[in-house]
Amino acid sequence: MKALIAFVGCVLIWGSTWYAIEWQLGTTSPEWSVAFRFGLACIITFVIAFARRERLRFTLKDHAVVAGFGVFMFSLNYILVYHGTEHLPSGLVAVTFSLLALMNLINARLFLKASIAPTAFAASILGVFGLVLIFLPEIEVLSFEDQTVLGVVICIVGTFLASIGNNFAATPRARALPLFAANAWGLFYGSISNVVNALITGDPIVLDLRPEYWMALGYLAVMGTVVAFALYIWLIGQIGVASAAYTSVLIPFVALAISTVFENFHWTMPAILGVGLVAVGNVLMVRSRNRRAA
């Protein structure tokens, strides 16, 4: 039951962050907005870890692991995927990020020597095909004559880096560390990476004074980062990196629901069929997890 609550929590929170990110577009550059978000989340997570009296002193090997998932999960993938959206419709970005579940299966096999359950593999494939049908109108306008191909490549590379970060978090050493303390150090290394990237781009620090910008920043830092990543990394330890990554296939549904209400998203027959495929994939993934647990 706890794993189910964590799974649903990740889907609902991260599904709503797509809309919250739009509130931040405008005055402040994306690089600095990302740096502000994870810097604030880092401070909050350290406070929580200290209040919980979690061990904050790590060995060099521990730091290497948390730096690995911190840089890949809290920095590089966000920077690449965000820049990919400059060349792609948001729906197609969601399709590419849904490849995380499939990439985690493959990378867990390569780096962690984990077995690939046939039903989990089939569930991931169904989920990806389902999302392709949902966003078929945006995929149909994909052209090799403009920058969309570059956007696809950037987003796929970003998703692959996120998968590498997931596998760092799934190592036995990472799973043995205190949850919030490990996240705090991971956010620390990710924040350093974000600031370095922002300085390299040369964008000046310009603060957006709109209330909605700061509301979005608070939501993205607290709920979208501190809470959601704590739930997600805990979930990896409970159900495995492949099953946990299936949240990336369901997250766009929350984004779609929000888009339907606030952005006038129109449902089509392929989209409805896509929802059915993802639902079937979800059932297969859960059944696969239950058999492994038994």
* pLDDT tens, position by position, 101-136: 778 777 777 766 667 677 777 777 887 788 788 777
Q: What's the confidence (pLDDT) of residue 242?
A: 65
Q: Are 58 and 66 in contact (CB under 8 A)?
A: yes
HSE at residue 56, side-chain half, CA atoms within 13 A, is: 12
Q: How many residues does the chain have?
A: 294
CB neighbour list of residue 10: distance below 8 Å, 6 or more residues apart:
228, 231, 232, 235, 247, 251
Q: What's the confidence (pLDDT) of residue 91?
A: 65
Q: Read off the pTM.
A: 0.78
Buried residues in 64-74 as b, exposed as e (16+ CB within 10 A): ebbbbbbbbbb
Q: What's the confidence (pLDDT) of residue 293?
A: 47
59 residue type, one letter: T
Q: Are 30 and 83 in contact (CB under 8 A)?
A: yes
Q: What's the confidence (pLDDT) of residue 232?
A: 83
> What is the separation of C-alpha 268 from the centre of its chain, rounded to a whole number of angstroms?
26
CB neighbour list of residue 120: distance below 8 Å, 6 or more residues apart:
105, 242, 243, 284, 285, 288, 289
In tens, the pLDDT along 147-158 reads: 777 888 888 899
Q: Are 154 and 81 in contact (CB under 8 A)?
A: yes
Paired tokens of 97: 């990020």
Nearest to 188 by CA among 62, 45, 284: 45
Q: Are 105 and 120 in contact (CB under 8 A)?
A: yes
Q: What's the confidence (pLDDT) of residue 217?
A: 94
Measured over the CA atoms of residue 274, residue 20, residue 16 and residue 158, the dihedral's sign is positive
Q: What's the confidence (pLDDT) of residue 58?
A: 94
Q: What's the confidence (pLDDT) of residue 258?
A: 82
Q: What's the confidence (pLDDT) of residue 294?
A: 45
Q: Are 42 and 187 in contact (CB under 8 A)?
A: yes
List, for the chain, all residue ranges whose pLDDT scores fall below the cut of 70: 89-92, 111-114, 116, 138, 142-146, 241-242, 245, 263, 282-283, 285-294
Q: How far apart are the first and last CA of the chain?
A: 15
Q: Are 41 and 47 in contact (CB under 8 A)?
A: no
